[in-house]
């Protein structure tokens, strides 16, 4: 039986790639090869961009009302196909079905926000700003835009990009992760079914060569990237040097600070979920717990409850976490765990070699907890991207803030406390872009921007919210004077003064 092949999506049609380079798409829970994905040729990328460029002429002049109606239909289709999308995510990524359904829900939030494009894309107007002169701004699309996404959220991350981009009048080329492309492709097909004209949204697959070609292509005006720091830094530099607008949301080392007055049950539950959900494969996962003062006494309970978490295939709805995405990912996580032991961290819970009876071939790593971790250790410096929690203890909130601020990354941080004064001090003094108070993963709702900072972000505008509208549009200012009939200029004006 031949394996299904993942098509490209160009000019509104599925296109079988002519590439000679293909990659197996593997179910990480079973090692079953479920499909083959092409690494598109540069000619195929050129065709996709040409289609988007041709479609832009008509799409940018489509009324806001009609673009909004497409988004309204798209959000309805997302609701209707949540189960289908979640199954594709679980099959190729490995996360549990409930987590995959939650991912579709977070993507849906962005599409719902894009339904408000008619009020989001408003300019400004000043009547009679000077004598008989009106000044106003037009919020216009850029043209052909592109997005490059990571494997860990094959639906949510594309939703962080193309819905607002196309709703504001741009056309788009999406390059999803080659590790789990099916859900991203299906998402794009639903957008076309919702009424996007052919060419407005295209999908190409591939690796570094296609990513570089996207950065270099003269007809692409903006590039959005979400993924690792190493790749994101390269994409940002290359796209910027080619004159493109670029945003790159990159790696993280997210901390959770727990004060001893916090609600113990709430804090432990949230910390475990944020550290081990999706097997730790989230850029917003909590990978470091900073326990302040007497909160250190909670460590035995935290370890015992982590040990009780159920590891299993994502299709098991009772599982708390599934496999990591690949054998290579599992090997890397286990190598870093070994490095932590060698560097002197105290290994309280070891997830290496975790066996799951019903899925013996899966890429499983069990919940892993280190204590007495220092800032010099590789398990603290590196983003592990697996179910590994590092813990350290400090005596005061001031020490905790200083410890977090010394880390170069700034994606997210959380504080658990019942002290409003401590929470206010924390949010004012912490140098991290997204802060959670009694909330472990502070990704805001979609009408607020994703505001990771420092080494976690390149570019001054992030996805979602007002910042995304600014990123996907450009402002044109018009200064106009219409002379009343029968009146003429008062004379030649050779100054810069508006008279």
Question: Do 235 and 200 contact (CB within 8 A), yes or no?
Answer: no
Bridge partners (DSSP) listed for residue 226:
249
CA distance linking residue 58 with residue 42, whole number of Å: 25
Instruction: Please say if 283 is a catalytic residue.
Output: yes
The active-site residue out of 215, 246, 256, 283 is: 283
Task: Identify the sign of the CA torsion 259, 249, 176, 360.
Answer: negative
What's the rounded Cα separation, in Å, for the pair 143 and 53?
A: 7
Measure the CA angle with vertex 464, ends 255 and 137; round to 5°: 135
Half-sphere exposure of 204 (CA within 13 A, CB side): 33
Q: Which of 295, 387, 286 is nearest to 334 (CA)?
A: 387
What is the phi/psi pair of residue 214, to 5°?
-65, -45
- Is 154 within 8 Å of 99 (Cβ atoms)? no
Question: Minimal CA–CA distance to 186: which of 197, 176, 195?
Answer: 176
User: 3-class secondary structure for 135-169?
Assistant: EEEEEEECCEEEEECCCCCCCHHHHCCHHHHHHCC
Catalytic residues: 283
């Amino acid at each position: 039986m031949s394996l299904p092949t993942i098509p490209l999506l160009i000019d509104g049609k599925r296109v079988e790639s002519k590439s000679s380079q293909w990659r197996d798409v593997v179910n990480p829970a079973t090692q079953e090869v479920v499909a083959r994905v092409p690494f598109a040729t540069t000619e195929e990328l050129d065709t996709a961009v040409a289609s988007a460029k041709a479609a832009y002429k008509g799409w940018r002049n489509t009324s806001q009302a009609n673009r909004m109606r497409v988004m309204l239909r798209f959000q309805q289709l997302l609701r209707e196909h949540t189960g289908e999308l979640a199954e594709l995510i679980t099959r190729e990524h490995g996360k549990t079905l409930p987590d995959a359904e939650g991912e579709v829900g977070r993507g849906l939030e962005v599409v719902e926000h894009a339904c408000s494009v008619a009020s989001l894309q408003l300019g400004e107007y000043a009547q009679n700003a000077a004598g008989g002169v009106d000044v106003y701004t037009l919020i216009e699309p850029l043209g052909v835009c592109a997005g490059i996404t990571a494997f860990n959220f094959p639906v949510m991350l594309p939703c962080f990009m193309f819905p607002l981009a196309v709703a504001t009048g741009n056309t788009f080329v999406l390059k999803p992760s080659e590790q789990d492309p099916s859900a991203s492709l299906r998402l794009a097909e639903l957008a076309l079914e919702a009424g996007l004209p052919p060419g407005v949204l295209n999908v190409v697959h591939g690796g570094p060569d296609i990513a570089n070609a996207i950065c270099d292509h003269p007809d692409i005006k903006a590039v959005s990237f979400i993924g690792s720091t190493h790749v994101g830094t390269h994409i940002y530099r290359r796209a910027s040097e080619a004159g493109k607008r670029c945003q790159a949301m990159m790696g993280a080392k997210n901390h959770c600070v727990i004060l001893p007055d916090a609600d113990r049950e709430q804090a432990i539950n949230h910390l475990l979920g944020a550290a081990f959900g999706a097997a730790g494969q989230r850029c917003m996962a909590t990978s470091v717990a900073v326990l302040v003062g007497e909160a250190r006494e909670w460590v035995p309970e935290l370890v015992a409850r982590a040990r009780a978490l159920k590891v299993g295939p994502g299709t098991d709805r009772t599982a708390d976490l599934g496999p990591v995405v690949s054998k290579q990912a599992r090997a890397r996580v286990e190598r870093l765990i070994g490095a932590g032991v060698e560097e002197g961290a105290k290994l309280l819970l070891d997830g290496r070699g975790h066996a799951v009876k019903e899925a013996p071939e899966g890429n499983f790593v069990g919940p892993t907890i280190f204590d007495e971790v220092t800032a010099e250790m590789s398990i603290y410096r590196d983003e592990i991207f697996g179910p590994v929690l590092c813990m350290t203890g400090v005596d005061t909130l001031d020490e905790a803030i200083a410890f977090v601020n010394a880390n170069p990354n700034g994606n997210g941080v959380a504080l658990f406390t019942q002290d409003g004064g401590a929470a206010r001090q924390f949010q004012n003094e912490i140098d991290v872009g997204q802060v959670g108070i009694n909330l472990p993963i502070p990704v805001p709702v979609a009408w607020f921007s994703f505001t990771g900072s420092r080494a976690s972000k390149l570019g001054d505008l992030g996805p979602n919210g007002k910042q995304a509208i600014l990123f996907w549009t450009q402002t044109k200012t018009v200064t106009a004077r219409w002379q009343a009939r029968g009146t003429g200029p008062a004379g030649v004006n050779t100054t810069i003064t508006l008279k």
